Amino acid sequence: MSVIRSRLAGVGAYLPQRVVTNDDLAKIVDTSDEWIVERSGIRQRHIAADDELTSDLATRAARAAMENAGVTADDIDLIVVGTTTPDDTFPATAAKVQANLGVPGGFAFDVQAVCSGFLYALATADKFIRAGDVKTALVIGAETFSRLLDWTDRDTCVLFGDGAGAVVLRAAEGEGKNTDTGILSTHLHADGRFRDLLYVNGGPSRGQKVGFVKMEGKEVFRHAVTKLAGVVEEALAANGYTSADLDWIVPHQANRRILSSTSKKVGVGEDRIVVTLDRHANTSAASIPLALCTAVTDGRIKPGQLILLEAMGGGFTWGSALIRL
Ligand code: ACO
C-alpha cells in the first residue's frame, strides 16, 4: 500500500560562540568540574551573547539544515519551532524565523513541551506531511535556556546551555512497511500531575516575570529512566522491531547517567547511543537535533540505518520518533 512518509532531507545545528566550562562555573557557585562531570557527564556549555535571541540561533540552524537538504526558502511550507524560551510572549519564534529566512508563504508556529519540544514539533510536522497538507517542513529545536537560570543555584545552573538544531522533512512515497525510509512512528505522552518536580516559577500569566528553573533532580532522574525506557519499548513494539534492530538511539542530552541507565534497561549498548552533552550540556528542545546533526555530519549515522529519538522533560512530557534515514 502506498503511503506518504516524512523523509529526513537535511540536518543543521548552531551553538553560540561563548563557551563556559565547569571551572568557570566553579568561580560563581560552590561546585567543581569533578562533581559536574561525575554526576552529569557535562564538561562545558555554550551561552548566547546578550543580543542573541532564540530566533537567531534557530535561524542559523535552519539555514544549515536547508543548505544540507538542498532546499530554498521558496520550498518551505511549514516551520515548527520547539522552544521554551521564545524571543517574546508573541509572536511565535517560528514566525520570526520565517521572516529571517525570507520564506514567502506557508505557516509557522511554536510548540512548548520543554525538553520534549523537538519531538512534539517533529510529530506535528510529520502529521501535516502525512495528511498531504505540506510537502516540505522545517522542524527546529532552539533555546536560550540560560535566560531561565538562577546563576546562584548550583542544583540547576550547571546542567543547562543554549543552542539550536534543525531538520528538513520532505514528503516521499513509502510502501507502508517498517522497511520504509522516513519517520516510521512518533509517540507522545504528557502527565501534568508532575508539574512541581520540574518547572519555571514565572510566566506572563503568573506575575509577568520570566522566572527561574526549579527542579527535584533525584525524582526527575527516576522518572526519566522509567519513562524513556518505556517509550523505546513502545516504539519498537509498534513497528515490529526489537532493540537489536536499532542502529542508534539519539536521546535528549540531559545527563550521562540517565542515558547509561536507560541504555541498560532497554538492552542497547552505550556504543549505539549518541552522546554530545559533554560539549553543550542540556539544551532542552535543541538537544536531539544537535546530537543528530553531529552524528550525521561525522558519519556515524548512515543512510538506511534505523534511529530512535527519545526525550523527557518538564510537564512531564516524553516521547519518541523511530526513523529510517
Ligand atoms: N556542585 C556540587 N555539589 C552539588 C551541586 C553542584 N552543582 N548540586 C548539588 N550538589 C550537592 C547537593 O547539595 C548534595 O549535597 P548534600 O549531600 O550535602 O546535601 C549533593 O551534591 C548530592 O546531591 P544530589 O541532588 O543527591 O545529587 P544527585 O546525585 O541526585 O545528582 C543531579 C544531582 C545531577 C541534578 C541528578 O539528580 C540529575 O541529573 N537529575 C536529573 C535532572 C535533569 O537531568 N534535569 C534536566 C531536565 S529533565 C530532563 O531533561 C530529563
Pair (157, 186) in one structural domain: no
Cβ of residue 254 lying under 6 Å from some atom of ligand 1:
yes
Please name which of 224, 222, 231, 226 lies closest in space to residue 312, comparing C-alpha atoms: 224
Q: Is the CB of 158 under 6 A from ligand 1?
A: yes
Q: What strand order describes the sheet that includes 78-82?
A: 3-14, 162-174, 136-144, 78-82, 107-111
166 CA distance to ligand 1 middle (Å): 30
Q: In terms of domains, do 162 and 234 share one?
A: no
| Shortest-distance Cα residue to atom 46 of ligand 1 | 254
Are residues 197 and 270 both part of a single domain?
Answer: yes
Residue 233, judged by CB atoms within 10 A of its CB (0-12, 13-18, 19+), counts as middle
Which structural domain, as residue segments, surrounds residue 315?
A: 182-324
Instruction: Using the 3D structure, point to which of 157, 174, 191 is the last residue of a domain.
Output: 174
From 119, 151, 174, give the residue that closes a domain. 174
Residues 188, 309: one domain?
yes
Distance 218 CA to ligand 1 centre (A): 7
Rounded-to-integer distance, Cα 261 and Cα 190, Å: 22
Judged on CB neighbours under 10 Å (0-12, 13-18, 19+), 21 is middle
pLDDT for res 60: 98
Residue 58 Cβ < 6 Å to ligand 1:
no
pLDDT at residue 1 in the model: 84
Distance of CA 261 to the CA centre of its chain: 20
- Report CA(39)–ligand 1 centroid distance (Å): 7
For the annotated catalytic residues, the residue numbers are: 115, 252, 282
Q: Based on the structure, what is the number of domains in the chain?
A: 2
Sign for the CA dihedral angle at 17, 115, 207, 153 comes to negative
Looking at the fold, whether 97 and 187 belong to one and the same domain comes out as no
Residues 189 and 148 in one domain: no
- Closest-CA residue, ligand 1 atom 41, reads 221
Set of cell numbers at residue 240? 515490529
**Residues 144 and 274 occupy one common structural domain:** no
Long-range own/partner contacts, residues 201-208 (CB < 8 A, 24 or more apart): 204/89
Sign of CA dihedral 141, 143, 149, 151: positive
Cell 527519545 belongs to residue: 310
Nearest to 258 by CA among 198, 312, 216, 300: 312
Cβ count within 10 A of residue 216: 15
Cα-Cα-Cα-Cα dihedral sign, residues 245, 309, 120, 62: negative
Q: Is the CB of 39 under 6 A from ligand 1?
A: yes
> Which numbered atom of ligand 1 lies nearest the CA of 284?
50
Q: Are residues 118 and 220 in the same domain?
A: no
Please check whether residues 198 and 145 belong to one and the same domain. Answer: no
Atom of ligand 1 nearest to the CA of 40: 34
Instruction: Report the distance separating Cα 73 and Cα 69, nearest Å.
Output: 12
Protein residue closest via CA to atom 49 of ligand 1: 313
221 lines ligand 1 (CB under 6 A): yes
Q: What is the pLDDT along the chain (325 residues), one digit of tens a residue?
A: 899 999 999 999 999 999 999 999 999 999 999 999 999 999 999 999 999 999 999 999 999 999 999 999 999 999 999 999 999 999 999 999 999 999 999 999 999 999 999 999 999 999 999 999 999 999 999 999 999 999 999 999 999 999 999 999 999 999 999 999 999 999 999 999 999 999 999 999 998 999 999 999 999 999 999 999 999 999 999 999 999 999 999 999 999 999 999 999 999 999 999 999 999 999 999 999 999 999 999 999 999 999 999 999 999 999 999 999 9
With a 6 Å cutoff on the Cβ, whether 84 touches ligand 1 is: no
Residues 232 and 291 in one domain: yes
Q: Give residue 255 CA to ligand 1 midpoint distance, Å.
A: 10
Instruction: Single out the residue of 54, 45, 52, 57 nearest to residue 13, CA to CA.
Output: 57
Q: Where residue 33 sits, what CATH number does that domain have?
A: 3.40.47.10
Q: Are residues 285 and 192 in the same domain?
A: yes
85 and 162 belong to one structural domain: yes
> Which amino acid would we find at residue 40?
S
Query: Whole-angstrom Cα distance, residue 135 to residue 130?
Result: 9
The Å distance, Cα 319 to ligand 1 centre, comes to 24
Nearest CA to ligand 1 atom 24: 218
Looking at 174, 199, 231, the residue that finishes a domain is 174
Residue tagged 536560550 (cell numbers):
144
Q: Which residues contact 184 (CB under 8 A, 6 or more apart)?
A: 5, 178, 239, 322, 323, 324
